[in-house]
Chain A
């Protein structure tokens, strides 16, 4: 039987599973930002599901309820919420397509993975801006 090693006397830092409260202190590369935003946007879309289904329902029942849905969607607070959900949808969609491509072992090398993570933002953010302009009546 081997004797167990002596307990180290120095207080060395422990690295366990990352906790939510620690995330803010981490320097996050683009892929990590895409990843955590994929989760946040997914959770937001899940929480908004009753609202979105309700709006979808109103939009399809009749001409009157369609008008009611449009009236609800014209308030600025609802518009802001819709804009956030539009961002969530676009980010989740584009980042999701990136994950599907990564699953095919395409773009997995570190430099490429960094580039295609940045590409997610380069696609989803301008589209969100476009949606914002449309939503607030710029065109």
Chain B
């Protein structure tokens, strides 16, 4: 394990790939939260501007390409936000490593599937 031993100032017990892991997730949790707040504010304004929400008015909200991109970015932010949050829940309450790993893997796969699905949903409009 040359990687774990060599860099100066990093203890032998410390996983190099694990460094700053928590800070990154902490910041991303907040960045994705901000993206979602901004997205829902813009969506709310567009919905009010759309008037009575029948199918045509509702679908029109998502027709412009910038709205598709913005919505997709918001959904991806939501999925990553959910990944950090749900992973925290598993890490807090599920102690056996294999059960936790299985739940985390299923969560990740499911969120990835949702990401692909949301592209399909948005670009069909």
Q: Is the CB of B82 within 8 A of A46?
A: yes
Q: Is the CB of A59 within 8 A of B86?
A: no
Q: Is the CB of A49 within 8 A of B121?
A: no
Chain A interface, >50% SS class? helix
Q: Does A96 contact B (CB under 8 A)?
A: yes
Q: Which residues of A contact B86 (CB under 8 A)?
A: 42-43, 46
Sorting the interface of chain B by its residue count into under 10, 10 to 19, 20 to 34 or 35 or more gives 20 to 34
Q: Does A39 contact B (CB under 8 A)?
A: yes
State in angstroms the CA–CA spacing of A53 and B119 once bound together: 11
Q: Is the CB of B89 within 8 A of A39?
A: yes
Total contacts A-B at CB 8 Å: 52
Beta-carbon contacts under 8 Å, A42-61 to B: 42-43, 45-46, 49-50, 53, 56-57, 59-61
Contact of A57 among B40, B59, B89, B121 (CB under 8 A): B121
Interface size on A, residues (CB 8 A): 24
9 CB < 8 A contacts A-B: A39-B89, A42-B82, A53-B114, A53-B118, A56-B121, A60-B124, A63-B56, A93-B40, A96-B33
Q: What residues make up the interface of A, taking CB atoms closer than 8 Å to B?
A: 20, 39, 42-43, 45-46, 49-50, 53, 56-57, 59-63, 66-67, 93, 96-97, 99-100, 103
